[in-house]
Structure 1
Amino acid sequence: MGDRDDRTPSTSRREPPVTMRGIRTRAALVAAARVVFERDGYLDARLTDITKEAACAAGTFYTYFSSKEEIFAAVLHEAQQDMMHPGMGRVSGTDDPYAVLEASNRAYLTAYRRNAKLMGLMEQVAHIDPEFQRFRNARAEAFVARNARGIAELQERSIVDPEIDPMMASRALSGMVSRMAYAVFVSGEGTADGSEYDFEELVFVLTRLWANALRFPDRG
């Protein structure tokens, strides 16, 4: 299952731009920063390269952001919005919970693959910046808490094993999916013969492991 959290570190304390020109300029800076961060890495990225990529004056940057940390947080926030998707919490009495789980895992893995470079950078920056470390941890905890609520709901509907602790199960299973996504899309780990993982097989295996662990009903 995927994760989401609306909190980002070092977010700008400035009021958001209200004019269309200001909105476009800020968006251009964030988009340019993503290009530069993904190309050069966080430590080697320079503000002058970001403003050059955005085709704006160097001084314009400080109208919207105060530092590299602040605009990196804005880039992460944009990535978070991209990675939001339906999860187990949206299961209703008429839904097929296995289909919802599979769709959620597919959406999460698709978004993770699309944002893989940023996910890798976030891990690197979290090791050197305590604020981003707290953000990463909060993001993971929000992921775990949301999926725990989904598991508890399925238990209330007598669909999955009622004896397991929802939070502990969520922490184990959520960690499995996110760690596998990092291994495949960031670290580039492959199969035993060195080939790349088939995406649909990855979705299938992770969903089946999750469903088996919770003892979903036999699908026939």
Structure 2
Amino acid sequence: MPAHEPESERGVDEIPDLVHAARLGTQPQTARGQRTRAALITAARTVFERDGYVDSRLVDIAAEAKCSIGSFYTWFDSKDEVFAAVLHEAQSDMLHPGTGRIEATDDPVAIIAASNRAYFEAYRRNARLNLLLQQVAAVDPRFREMRRARSAAFVNRNARAISDLQQRGLADRGVDASMAAKALSGMVARLAHDVFAFEGGDHVDELVETATRLWTNALGLTTPELRVD
């Protein structure tokens, strides 16, 4: 879901990492070890995206990385540990930090559009990995709790941005900011999931325009350029 507040403004709603650092396996101390571990992480992402999390096998990851299964166990204890490493490598790209806080001199519609675009483009680049994360969360309570915490933090950030607009008289004050944030953030996330993960679509511009119209219409921010005739 889009976030309209920068990392420096996280405050009490700091966004948790995708995985805990303790779950990332053994860290190599040599350049050779770093290359081997990096190759295993790259191979694991390939195998996970190709075969799915449940059906992927460690021997296939090792083969894809062109190393032995013994080398795999030098750096990782299990499949969920190497999956955590894959997520850790990708998390900065999967979940963008937002496009800047809405200030009095900013155009809130432009900021919402830019934030939606950043989210859709990041999701498109990582569509298969996002789908895998949903699959793993369904069977692993630790990943499920992580997703719940991240979702709550992003919704809280969006709710604060909506409340800020309401206080400045730029958004409909009759809308509950928290419920609006949940509804609109969920809408964008579902659009990205359906189009990129299920349909294999590639039409970012159409998604950005549609999602931004719905965001701004719902909040009473509609501008002439976005108004439907």
Q: Which amino acid is 2:56 matched to?
A: A
| Whole-angstrom CA distance in 2 between matches of 1:150 and 1:109 | 19
* Aligned residue among 193, 196, 205 for 1:185: 196
After TM superposition, the score normalised by the length of structure 2 is: 0.82
Residues 216/37 of structure 1: CA separation in 2 closer, same or farther (3 Å cut): same
Mapped pair 1:98 → 2:103:
no
* Deviation at residue 15 of structure 1 after TM alignment: 5.8
| Whole-angstrom CA distance in 2 between matches of 1:73 and 1:28 | 15
Who is 2:220 aligned against? 215
Contact 1:86 1:104 in 2 (8 A): no
Q: In structure 2, the residue corresponding to 1:91 is in which secondary structure?
A: coil
Who is 2:8 aligned against? none
Q: Which amino acid is 2:161 matched to?
A: G
Q: Which amino acid is 2:2 matched to?
A: G
| Whole-angstrom CA distance in 2 between matches of 1:142 and 1:77 | 18
* Deviation at residue 25 of structure 1 after TM alignment: 2.6
* Cα RMSD, aligned residues only: 2.4
Q: Which moved more, 1:130-139 or 1:164-173?
A: 130-139
* Deviation at residue 219 of structure 1 after TM alignment: 4.2
Contact 1:38 1:118 in 2 (8 A): yes
Who is 2:2 aligned against? 2
Q: In structure 2, the residue corresponding to 1:210 is in which secondary structure?
A: helix
Residues 81/170 of structure 1: CA separation in 2 closer, same or farther (3 Å cut): same
Who is 1:192 aligned against? none
- CA offsets 1:74-124 (integer angstroms, 9 cap, x no match): 222333211232426522333221111111111111111111111212222
Contact 1:89 1:150 in 2 (8 A): no
Structure 2 alignment gaps of length 5 or more:
4-14
% identical aligned pairs: 55
Q: Which amino acid is 1:142 matched to?
A: A
Who is 2:11 aligned against? none
Contact 1:88 1:97 in 2 (8 A): no
Q: Which moved more, 1:42-51 or 1:151-160?
A: 151-160
Who is 1:29 aligned against? 40
Contact 2:124 2:202 in 1 (8 A): no
Q: Which amino acid is 2:106 matched to?
A: D
Residues 2/56 of structure 1: CA separation in 2 closer, same or farther (3 Å cut): farther
After TM superposition, the score normalised by the length of structure 1 is: 0.85
Alignment of 1:13-162 (within 5 A): 16-87=27-98, 90-162=101-173
| Whole-angstrom CA distance in 1 between matches of 2:178 and 2:135 | 27
| Whole-angstrom CA distance in 1 between matches of 2:54 and 2:222 | 49
Residues 163/89 of structure 1: CA separation in 2 closer, same or farther (3 Å cut): farther
Contact 2:116 2:208 in 1 (8 A): yes
Structure 1 alignment gaps of length 5 or more:
190-195
Mapped pair 1:205 → 2:210:
yes
* Deviation at residue 163 of structure 1 after TM alignment: 3.1
* Deviation at residue 152 of structure 1 after TM alignment: 2.2
Q: Which moved more, 1:153-162 or 1:38-47?
A: 153-162
Q: Name the count of aligned residue pairs.
A: 214
Contact 1:30 1:74 in 2 (8 A): yes
- CA offsets 1:20-74 (integer angstroms, 9 cap, x no match): 3333332221111000001111111111111221222322222322110111122
